[in-house]
Amino acid sequence: MAARSRAWPVGVLVALLAAGVAAAISGCTAKDAGNASSEEFPASARITAYLTGLAAAGKLSGAVLVTRGRMSYSEAFGFADRATRAPNTVHTEFRLGSVSKQFTAMGILLLQARHRLNVADHVCQFLSQCPRRWRAITLAELLCHTSGIPDYLNDLATSWPPRPASPPELIASFASARLHFRPGSRMRYSNSGYVLLGAVIEKVSGESLAGFLERNIFRPLGMSHTGTDTTVIRPGHARGYYAGGRLPVAYPMSAFFADGGLYSDVADMRRWDDAVDRSTLIPDALTRQMLTVHTPCPPPRSPGGCLRAADLGYGFGWFIDRTRYGPLFQHVGHIDGYFSFNGIYPAQDEDIVILANSEATSVLRISDVLASLTLGVRQ
How do residues 98-121 score in pLDDT, each as one tens digit?
999 999 999 999 999 999 999 999
DSSP helix/strand/coil, 262:
strand
Binned at pLDDT 50, 70 and 90, residue 14 comes out as very low
Average pLDDT rounded to a whole number, residues 67-79 = 94
- 135 domain residue, yes or no: yes
| Lowest-confidence segment of 41-50, 92-101, 254-263 by average pLDDT | 41-50
Q: Please write the tens of the pLDDT for every residue from 152-190.
A: 999 997 777 788 999 999 999 999 999 999 999 999 999
What distances in angstroms separate CA 350 from CA 14, 220, 241, 246, 307, one per listed residue? 8, 23, 29, 34, 21
- Who wins on pLDDT, 271 or 377? 271
Got the DSSP string for 177-222?
Answer: SPPSS-TTSS----HHHHHHHHHHHHHHHSS-HHHHHIIIIITTTT
For residue 321, what is the domain's CATH number? 3.40.710.10
Query: Rounded to whole angstroms, how far apart are CA atoms 270 and 217?
Result: 13
Which band of pLDDT confidence, cut at 50, 70 and 90, is reported for residue 251? confident
Starting at the earlier edge strand, list the strands of the sheet with 227-228. Answer: 94-95, 262-264, 227-228
Judge whether residue 11 has pLDDT over 50: no
- Assigned domain for 370 exists: no
Q: Which domain holds residue 255?
A: 95-260+289-325+348-360
Same domain for 132 and 86, yes or no, is no
Residue-wise DSSP of 301-347: T-TT--SSTTEEEE-SS-EEEEETTEEEEEEEEEETTEEEEEEEETT
The contacts of residue 175 (CB under 8 Å, 6+ apart) are 129, 131
Quick one: 232 and 145 in the same domain? yes
What confidence tier does 284 reach under pLDDT thresholds 50, 70, 90? very high
Residue of 197, 198, 151, 99 whose CA lies nearest to 305:
151
In a domain, 334, yes or no: no
86 lies in the same domain as 235: no
Phi-psi region of 232 (alpha: psi -120 to 50; beta: other; left: phi over 0): beta
Same domain, 55 and 148: no
143 lies in the same domain as 234: yes
Determine, yes or no, domain membership for 330. Answer: no
Per-residue pLDDT averaged across 63-76, rounded? Answer: 94
- Structural domain tally of the chain? 2
Q: Find the radius of gyration of the CA atoms of the chain.
A: 20
- pLDDT above 90 as % of the chain: 83
Do 81 and 197 belong together in one domain? Answer: no
Predicted confidence (pLDDT) at residue 31 exceeds the cutoff of 50: no
Confirm if 345 and 371 have CB atoms less than 8 A apart.
Answer: yes
Measured CA to CA, the distance from residue 162 to residue 325 in angstroms comes to 40
In a shared domain, residues 50 and 173: no
**Does residue 13 sit within a domain?**
no
Peptide bond into 161 cis (omega under 30): yes
Looking at the fold, whether 84 and 227 belong to one and the same domain comes out as no
Nearest to 339 by CA among 349, 328, 351, 353: 353
Whether residue 130 is found in the same domain as residue 231:
yes
* Domain contains 365: no
Report the pLDDT value the prediction gives residue 37, as an integer from 0 to 100: 59
As a whole number of angstroms, the distance between CA 233 and CA 379 comes to 37
Residue 34 counted as domain residue: yes
Same structural domain for residues 166 and 80? no
Domain match, 122 and 84 both: no
CA 343 to chain centre: 9
Flag whether 335 is in a domain: no
Read off the pTM: 0.90
Do 184 and 295 lie in a common domain? yes
